[in-house]
């Protein structure tokens, strides 16, 4: 009798405590937090694992779907304001090259974009992911030999003849908008609205995996934090999300890469993390005057500070830092810029992704000619720095690098393939 009263009292305290706080979402809770949740409800500890498996592996969207939990416990959770917190796909845009741009909506009416790049896109070389490493190895890490059309055709035939598990890439966002204000990026035009929670970051991945009907680790998924926002300005939530993606969703950390515009103090912090993705740094200029013009944060953390942080970064075995360099026609793409960049990076264990500007309305720069891109690449390679030209993906639907602005109208292709679930206002 006493035990029954104690149990009922514990449940009453649990419901009262939860009702005094804001709505809690299971998505974003780690094992320790879920263990505390079930303990407060006077449930057995193994319930935490059941919830974790349901939310992160089965990717349920409601409490009712967690069939391993007793109905009474599910009802108590719902009554106390607990929800799964699953991300909702508001719109989906399909590119001619197979890339998908998702508009992911949250409960407060805000939204972000997440991009799915199908397997075998041939553009991963140098992106810091394991797929990139595989692409690099086909050329040799020195990058001295560019693939010919014949080489690419043979490689494509081999891929078709030898089925492999998926190695698609998901590009996810860490903030609604972005505060960094890079002058060549459409996302910067939004400004920053707010940080995403760890659950909202992981929720993007879960929503896309469910929509694509793939599941890591059985399917080899690469993940890049290169969508909307600066991850290192939302550091704690980004790091918690990274740990959840490894420990709960099942994506290997060696298959994840985070890109920063150069938040130097956080680069130092990041190097001390036990679980961390690979590091990519947006360089985009070869000297301070030019970088400050293109990336105003260079006033706070200049190139000397940034390169010093990169040199001090504790790389793991076979790990490289990736530097991203967006080429703007007639601005930062000259042979002199290439030589200056080579001087900055000489001696670093690094590789460079060259990205010809992906255009968009409101951006006052132009895409450089292909021969200028090739010339820039060759100068870096001759200096002993592996350099790779990233093929744009989803440019026709504003899904390519620097184009994420929650745009509803499909973009630059005369005949874009667009699948829209429902309209969302831009901005």
* Statement to judge: residues 93 and 75 lie in one domain: no
Quote the tokens at residue 189: 């035009």
In angstroms, the first-to-last Cα distance of the chain is 59
Task: State the chain's mean pLDDT as an integer.
Answer: 81
Higher pLDDT, 181 or 410: 181
Q: What is the pLDDT of residues 220-236, one digit of tens each?
A: 999 999 999 999 999 99
Distance CA 29, CA 164 (A): 33
* Statement to judge: residues 24 and 134 lie in one domain: no
Q: How far from chain centre, in Å, is Cα 422?
A: 24
Q: What pLDDT, on a 0 to 100 scale, did the predictor assign at position 272? A: 97
- Whether 407 is covered by a domain: the verdict is no
**Does 160 qualify as catalytic in the annotation?**
no
> pTM of whole model > 0.85?
no
Is the pLDDT assigned to residue 302 strictly greater than 90?
Answer: yes
* Mean pLDDT along residues 302-309: 98
Cβ atoms of 87 and 206 within 8 Å: the answer is yes
Q: What is the pLDDT of residues 256-289, one digit of tens each?
A: 999 999 999 999 999 999 999 999 999 999 999 9
* Statement to judge: residues 184 and 227 lie in one domain: yes
Under the banding of pLDDT at 50, 70 and 90, the label for residue 419 is very low
* Statement to judge: residues 79 and 149 lie in one domain: no
* Mean pLDDT along residues 324-337: 96
Count Cα neighbours of 56 within 13 Å in the Cβ-side half-sphere: 30
Instruction: Summarize the chain as % helix, strand, coil (round to 5).
Output: 40, 15, 45
Domain containing residue 93: CATH number: 3.20.20.70
- Which residue's entry shows tokens 């939990």? 69
Q: Which of 76, 113, 119, 253 is catalytic?
A: 113
Characterize 220-253 residue by residue with b for buried, 16 or more Cβ atoms within 10 angstroms of its Cβ, and e for exposed: bbbbbbbbbbbbbbbbebbbbbbbbbbebbbbbb
Q: What is the pLDDT of residues 354-385, one digit of tens each?
A: 999 877 777 788 899 999 999 999 999 999 99
Total domains present in the chain: 2
* Statement to judge: residues 49 and 186 lie in one domain: no
* Mean pLDDT along residues 43-63: 97
Q: What is the pLDDT of residues 138-192, one digit of tens each?
A: 444 444 343 333 444 434 334 433 344 458 999 999 999 888 888 888 777 778 8
- Whether 103 is covered by a domain: the verdict is yes
Cβ atoms of 184 and 355 within 8 Å: the answer is no
- Phi first, then psi, for residue 31 (nearest 5°) are -60, -40
Higher pLDDT, 1 or 337: 337
Count Cα neighbours of 342 within 13 Å in the Cβ-side half-sphere: 19
Question: What is the domain extent for residue 286?
Answer: 88-397
Q: What is the pLDDT of residues 87-119, one digit of tens each?
A: 999 999 888 878 899 999 998 889 999 999 986
Is the pLDDT assigned to residue 1 strictly greater than 80?
Answer: no
Q: What pLDDT, on a 0 to 100 scale, did the predictor assign at position 143? A: 40
């Amino acid at each position: 009798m006493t035990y029954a009263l104690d149990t009922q009292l514990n449940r009453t305290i649990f419901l009262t405590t939860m009702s005094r706080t804001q709505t809690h979402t299971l998505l974003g809770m780690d094992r320790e937090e879920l263990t505390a949740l079930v303990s407060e409800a006077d449930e057995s500890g193994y319930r935490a694992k059941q919830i974790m498996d349901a939310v992160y592996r089965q990717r349920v969207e409601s409490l009712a779907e967690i069939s391993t939990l007793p109905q009474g416990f599910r009802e108590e959770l719902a009554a106390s304001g607990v929800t799964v917190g699953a991300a909702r796909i508001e719109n989906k845009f399909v590119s001619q090259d197979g890339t998908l741009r998702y508009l992911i909506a949250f409960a407060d009416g805000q939204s972000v974009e997440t991009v799915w790049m199908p397997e075998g896109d041939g553009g991963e070389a140098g992106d810091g992911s394991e797929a990139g490493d595989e692409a690099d190895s086909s050329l040799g890490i020195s990058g001295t030999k560019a693939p010919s059309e014949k080489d690419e055709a043979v490689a494509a035939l081999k891929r078709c003849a030898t089925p492999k598990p998926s190695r698609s890439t998901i590009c996810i966002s860490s903030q609604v908008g972005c505060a960094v204000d890079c002058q060549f990026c459409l996302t910067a035009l939004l400004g920053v609205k707010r940080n995403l929670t760890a659950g909202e970051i992981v929720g993007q991945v879960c929503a896309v995996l469910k929509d694509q009907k793939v599941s890591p680790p059985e399917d080899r998924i690469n993940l890049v934090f290169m969508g909307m926002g600066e991850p290192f300005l939302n550091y704690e939530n980004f790091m918690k999300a990274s740990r959840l993606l490894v420990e709960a969703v099942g994506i290997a950390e060696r298959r994840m890469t985070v890109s920063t515009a150069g938040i130097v103090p956080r680069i130092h912090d990041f190097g001390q993390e036990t679980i961390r993705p690979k590091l990519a740094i947006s360089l985009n200029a070869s000297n301070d005057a030019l970088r400050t013009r293109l990336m105003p944060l260079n006033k706070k953390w200049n190139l000397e500070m940034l390169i010093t942080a990169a040199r001090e970064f504790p790389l793991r075995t076979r790990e490289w830092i990736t530097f991203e360099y967006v080429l703007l026609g007639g601005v930062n793409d000259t042979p002199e810029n290439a030589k200056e960049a080579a001087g900055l990076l000489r001696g670093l264990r690094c590789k460079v992704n060259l990205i010809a500007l992906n255009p968009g309305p409101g951006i006052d720069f132009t895409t450089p000619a292909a021969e200028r891109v090739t010339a820039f690449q060759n100068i870096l390679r001759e200096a002993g720095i592996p350099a790779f030209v990233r093929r744009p993906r989803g440019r026709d639907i504003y899904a390519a690098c620097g184009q994420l602005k929650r745009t509803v109208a499909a973009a630059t292709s005369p005949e874009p393939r667009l699948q829209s679930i429902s309209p969302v206002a831009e901005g």
